[in-house]
Chains A and B, each alone.
Chain A
Amino acid sequence: MSGQFLDLFIIFFATIFINNIVLTYFLGICPFVAVSREIPTALGMGMAVIFVMFMTMAINWPLNQLVLVPFGVEYLQFLVFIFVIATFVQIVEIFIDRFSPVLYVNLGVFLPLITVNCAILGVSLLFVLREYTYPQSLAFALGSGIGWALAITAMAGIRQKLRFSHVPKGLQGPGITMIIAGIMALAFMGFAGMVNLN
């Protein structure tokens, strides 16, 4: 049993640092560039992503395993997964609007953006390719979400500091964000030797 737990922990840990979903797999870059100007907004978006990523994985895995595979219609994965994501996000929006107006104001703007965040759909597609079990998929989703939130918050921290630096005109905005992301990716590559994930 402990072997299984260690396996899950390795997936979880590796996904946050070594195979970081943004810096290694380039998923969720558009919002990563767009929402990383200030730390509070970045954190808010990060939290929302973790939540949606985990929950949609929790739904998509059984849906794939129990419905799509038995009927031999795996090729419908794209359609089904994106539908689940869109519906889930919509329901979450209604839920938050009802029970926490404050949270809705802070988070609510991000929710429609999350539906097209390729990271969310990406993890659902990846678990299929990697043939993860249910616990593995959940660990993967949680790790991916946290990894994404970590990357975007770190980026926001750096960009906030960058406001007082002189950035060449052509690089301002997305240009310098790319360069910073590249340097961050380099840094994260340093984690590569820690765990061998095959």
Chain B
Amino acid sequence: MELRQTREWKIFYEGFWKNNAGFRMMLGLCSTLAVTNNLVNSFTMSLGVIFVTCSSSSMISILRPIIPPRVRMAVFMMVISTFTIVVDQVLKAFYPTVSAALGPYVGLIITNCIVMGRAEAFAISNPVFPSFLDAFGVSSGYAFSLLMIAAIRELLGFGTMFGMTVLGQWWTPWVIMILPPGAFFVLGMYIWLLRSISGEES
């Protein structure tokens, strides 16, 4: 069967593009706005979110038979928090500068609606591999949106990409891009762009 037609591809595609978390579903906005003023931070956050989402969705899917329905939210939070702690500790140990730059936002992966959302909507009622794919699709779609926003903000705000100078001395940085208003504006513009292209009603 062609790759495009498989159920697996569909799960991934829907998570990544059709229901893109950052631009279409409006999830995980806090992190999106906070860390996207440079690409290094965005990249780190992306990896963190992908890791937490995939591992917690997989774990919850494995634990499906023994999770009592009434306390499932609490169980989700426990699993997600634990993996977030792992990410946080790894960052603190090996990449302290990035960890300091990201600040509380690593911990806030827990409240990132994407992670909890995939657990509740998919992982709790599906087998492990599809849950993993769904988590991977949604979180990498989110990562994609982070990187797209950060690319603009860092390029126009600092003249660099990933810390390396791209635009030379002639470029007067648009400081607003690094500041909070810039974050809101760039996200707003992307939403406008995507909705106009896909011709969607809000």
A129 to B30, CA, bound (A): 18
- In the assembled complex, the Cα of A169 lies from the Cα of B103 at a distance in Å of 36
Determine the chain A residues whose CB is within 8 A of the CB of B171 once the complex forms. Answer: none
Stretch at the interface among B60-68, B139-147, B183-191: B183-191
Residue numbers in A under 8 Å from B196 (CB-CB): 169-170
Determine if A75 and B111 form an interchain contact, defined as CB atoms under 8 angstroms apart. Answer: no
Does any Cβ of B come within 8 Å of A134's Cβ? no
Chain A residue with the shortest CB-CB distance to B35: A26
What DSSP secondary structure best describes chain B's contact surface?
Answer: helix
- Interface code B101-130, partner A: CB below 8 Å = 1, 0 otherwise? 001100110111100100000000000000
Q: Contacts A86-B73, A129-B104, A170-B191 hold; do A78 and B184 have CB atoms under 8 A apart? A: no
Q: Mark B70-85, 1 if CB is under 8 A from A, else 0.
A: 0001100110011011
Once A118-B111, A125-B107, A125-B108 are accepted as A-B contacts, the answer to whether A33 and B185 lie under 8 Å apart by CB is no
Interface check A103, CB cutoff 8 A: no
The one of A125, A171, A177, A185 in contact with B180, judged by C-beta atoms closer than 8 angstroms, is A185
Within the complex, what minimum Cβ distance (angstroms) separates B74 from chain A? 7
B169 vs chain A, min Cβ distance (A): 27
Q: Give the size range of A's interface with the partner.
A: 35 or more
- Chain B CB within 8 A of A146 CB: no
Q: Verify if B195 is at the interface (C-beta below 8 Å from A).
A: yes
Q: Is the CB of B40 closer than 8 A to any CB of chain A?
A: no
A25 to B77, CA, bound (A): 23
The chain B residue sitting closest to A77, CB to CB, is B107
CB contacts between A and B, total, < 8 Å: 127
For residue B77, which residues in chain A have a CB less than 8 angstroms away from its CB?
82-83, 86
Let me know if A76 and B85 touch, CB within 8 A. yes
Are the C-beta atoms of A189 and B179 separated by less than 8 Å? yes
* Complex partner residue of B202 from A78, A121, A172, CB under 8 angstroms: A172
The answer to whether A79 and B82 touch across the interface, beta carbons within 8 angstroms, is yes
Q: How far is the CA of A129 from the CA of B181 in the complex (A)?
A: 24
Residue of B nearest to A183 (CB): B181
Residue contact A82 to B202, C-beta cutoff 8 Å:
no
How far apart are B146's CB and chain A's nearest CB, in angstroms?
A: 13
B26 interfacial by beta-carbon distance below 8 Å: yes
Is B192 part of the binding interface, using a Cβ–Cβ cutoff of 8 Å?
yes
List residues of chain A with CB under 8 Å of any chain B CB.
23-30, 33-34, 75-79, 82-83, 86, 116-118, 121-122, 125-126, 129, 168-179, 181-183, 185-186, 189
